[in-house]
Amino acid sequence: MDFETSKNLGGIGAILMFIGILPYISLYGLTLLVGALLVLIAMKGMADYYKDAGIFNNVLYGTIAGIVGIVVFVAVILTAAIGFIADILPNWNGDWTSLTQLNPADVSTNIAFSNIGTFAAAVLISFVVLFIFVLVVALLYRKSLEILRSKTGVGLFGTTGTILLIGAVLTIIAIGLILVWIAMLLLAIAFFQLRPQPTQTATSPESQTQM
């Protein structure tokens, strides 16, 4: 894959990630997923072009860490939810559709503070684990973008990585998600600012003697 293709795929992918969270455009997360895949492919192309595997490897490891974090988060939440429902509904057969037919009075009699506390603790732990994975992803992405900045001379890659890391730290409040969203737009701009390395022509012995 040549330089221009990698550059364009990265820019388009970052734009798709930027608009992928907007209503009616996200297509149930498909736009975001396609954008992330294009950026991943672009980083592989950049790693090959600049002959630095760290550009791609850090993004790849970060993406894997993100997937693992989401899976662990969902698994913990579902396990906690099933355990909570089983505690307050001893006769529940595991059919989720049957929950809509329950009598609220029957549910309230089995709810205890210990059940609520256990469920709340599990949810809190799941969010802490997810937050740790988010930080790991941001650190790896920033490392990759810093390498790309040093190789390309496009300082916006470094700025994007810094904003992405700050946004990850601040994901506990709404402004963190906004910063991550802005970072995707900056990443697209950074990709489109890329220029190929100038080719160096060999100096002939004749030209050196003439000088």
- In this prediction, what percent of the chain has a pLDDT beyond 90? 61
Query: What is the pLDDT of the chain when averaged over all its residues?
Result: 85
Chain segment 123-135, per-residue pLDDT in tens:
999 999 999 999 9
DSSP 8-class letter at 120: H
Q: Any idea which residue has 């988060």 for tokens?
A: 73
Closest CA to 188 of 18, 54, 34: 18
Residue 88, both tokens = 């307050």
The predicted pLDDT at position 205 comes to 45
pTM of this prediction?
0.83
Chain segment 101-157, per-residue pLDDT in tens:
656 655 555 566 666 788 889 899 999 999 999 999 999 999 999 999 999 999 999
**pLDDT over 80 at 199, yes or no:** no
Categorise residue 197: left if φ over 0, alpha if ψ from -120 to 50, beta otherwise: beta
**pLDDT over 50 at 203, yes or no:** no
Q: Could you state, in order of their start, the residue ranges of all structural domains in the chain?
A: 3-195
Q: How many CA atoms lie within 13 A of 23 on its CB side?
A: 0
